[in-house]
Chains A and B, each alone.
Chain A
Amino acid sequence: MGGQWIAFQTIVIKEIRRFMRIWVQTVVPPMVVTTLYFIIFGNLIGSQIAPVEGHSYMDYIAPGIILMSIINNAYANVVSSFYGAKFQRYVEELLIAPISDWLILTGIVVGGVARGLVVGAAVTVVAMCFTDLQLHSPLVVIAVVLLTAILFSLGGFINAIYAKSFDDISIIPTFILTPLTYLGGIFYSIEMLPPFWQQVSLFNPILYMINAFRYGLLGVSDVSLAGAFAIISATIALLFGISVWLLHRGVGVRS
């Protein structure tokens, strides 16, 4: 296991070095975007909106905006890193080495989680300049952040496995991830929606993550916390199983 542990550490360090080397492309843009969200939606428009579930609109949207950065960056890190490795063929360095498939996957996912956490922390600092953020339940906050980052890192990995061009790694984030995130209750409570759309929203997994995170910070949620953790954990287990199977079969990486 000693050798495997060193291999795992090597993958993780390499992944972290990769996104830190280009921090201007990876860490700074989410901070700029978040600042704009707070200025436009929170300050200019939000000041005209009544408190939501007992919190100012600015405070209400902060958890969703932070989690959205974590989701996007965990996903983007893994999809771009793994597809880049396929494109330049240095994924072969890993495939020929004596490392278990699940450990390769875990190392790459930890890289995605690390970027999610770094960006999440940076965005939280920005949020603290505009809001009076509370910490209702630190354990829930930590658990939701980690699980969400893991889940979307796995999603990014599966996207990268099937991607055959750089277009393929932007299609899912643009046409699936972004709409689901925006419709996942970042800027509103689903109680504001008509009953039919409330029911439809419950099929959006991101809704559960955002609400669980909002509970951790503000103590309010549109969904049950236990239900949210069950859905997130089950999705992670499913995606992890699929990812290991794809890697073992060599889909997209072996002839």
Chain B
Amino acid sequence: MTNALEISQLKKTYSHGVDALKGIDLTVEEGDFFALLGPNGAGKSTTIGIITSLVNKSGGTVRVFGADLDQQPMAAKRAIGLVPQEFNFNMFEPVEEVCINQAGYYGVTPPVARQRAERYLRQLGLWEKRRTIARALSGGMKRRLMIARALVHEPCLLILDEPTAGVDIELRRSMWQFLREVNSRGTTIILTTHYLEEAESLCRNIAIIDQGRIVEHSSMKELLAKLHRETLVLDLQSALTTPPTLTGYPCRLVDPHTLEVEVERQQGINALFSSLSQLGIEVTSLRNKSNRLEELFLSMVKEVQE
């Protein structure tokens, strides 16, 4: 199977001397839904900028579906659709024109461009707004417009740089569903996001980048298997004044009705509930303190920084 993206020893030093990328290697298989995670300033947007020709690299190679970005830039560019982090369309153009122009830049004929613009604007709930100038759209609509625009030339590789930032939960979920459908039709997707729940829910493979280096590159399943400990938050029926003694389960009282308990992966939680029952503590609800991926992410980034 061809790789959708192959990055080798990619380096970027900005003119002010900052080493944003220190030689990263990354491979994304065709058809994958891939997450690229990292804290702010880790190098995610620089990596995406280089792949999409918006940032000049300082070293290394990038291949998109086998096409080298230096040797065959047109073939590489044709394969990519980009949804950037910040709005970057002409705010004074009507919505439909934004999509049709973008298709034209990729050599799509005007009749086909109009059909595709209609299809994607309908799918993303923007067709009624097609004659509205882009500036007049809400934030969520602008995000959806960028997705429609990125798809009009039907790229094989769709790159989304924090596509759901600032989007309400309902819209975010509908965008996830839309992206799953796009991926199921064969489009490879690379996603960067700060919502780790989003990455866990959508992506099959993952890379974590920190301080310009890849610190993890594996499948989501393998990565989550590395999670040794989870923190459970228990809501209690009756108020407690001191934390209970739960053998083998370190705990702390957040407030009289909320108890946080740390559970090792191999422990299970049956014994925990037995202990709580014996102590007469009634639990009304239970949840994870944070998303599982979030815990792993934080521990990995922390390790690197140490």
Contacts and interface: CB of A to CB of B under 8 A. Distances in A.
Interface stretch (B25-33, B75-83, B243-251, B267-275): B75-83
Interface stretch (A29-37, A93-101, A133-141, A169-177): A93-101
Interface string B91-111: 110000000011011111110
Contacts of B52: 96
Interface in A79-112: 85, 88-90, 92-99
A14 B94 CA distance: 12
Given A88-B91, A92-B54, A98 B109 contact: no
Interface of B is mostly: loop
Interface stretch (A5-13, A117-125, A194-202, A228-236): A5-13
Nearest to B51: A96
Nearest to A96: B52
Given A254-B55, A255-B54, A98 B77 contact: yes
A21 B56 CA distance: 35
Given A7-B107, A93-B89, A255-B56, A98 B14 contact: no
A214 to B, nearest CB: 38
The contact size tier of chain B is: 20 to 34
Contacts of A21: 92
Contacts of A47: none
Interface of A is mostly: helix
Contacts of A90: 88-90
B86 interface: yes
Contacts of B109: 6
Interface residues of A, number: 25
B122 to A, nearest CB: 22
B105 A93 contact: yes
Interface in B27-61: 49, 52-56
Contacts of B92: 21
Contacts of B101: 10, 14, 93
B54 A95 contact: yes
A178 interface: no
Contact of A4 (B14, B75, B107): B107
Nearest to A254: B56
Contacts of B107: 2-4, 6-7, 98
A99 to B, nearest CB: 6
A10 B117 CA distance: 15
A98 B80 CA distance: 10
Nearest to A92: B88
B67 to A, nearest CB: 10
B66 interface: no
Contacts of B80: 96
Q: Which of B56, B73, B88, B109 lies at the interface centre, i.e. has the most chain A CB atoms within 10 A of its CB? A: B88
B74 interface: yes
B77 A96 contact: yes
Contact of A96 (B54, B89, B110): B54
Which 5 pairs between the two chains have the least Cβ-Cβ distance? A3-B107, A10-B104, A97-B105, A89-B88, A98-B77
Given A97-B106, A98-B78, 17 more contacts: A7-B104, A10-B105, A14-B101, A21-B92, A85-B90, A89-B88, A93-B105, A96-B52, A96-B54, A96-B77, A96-B82, A98-B73, A98-B74, A98-B107, A254-B55, A255-B54, A255-B55
11 contacts: A3-B106, A6-B110, A9-B104, A89-B88, A90-B89, A93-B105, A96-B77, A98-B75, A98-B77, A98-B78, A255-B14
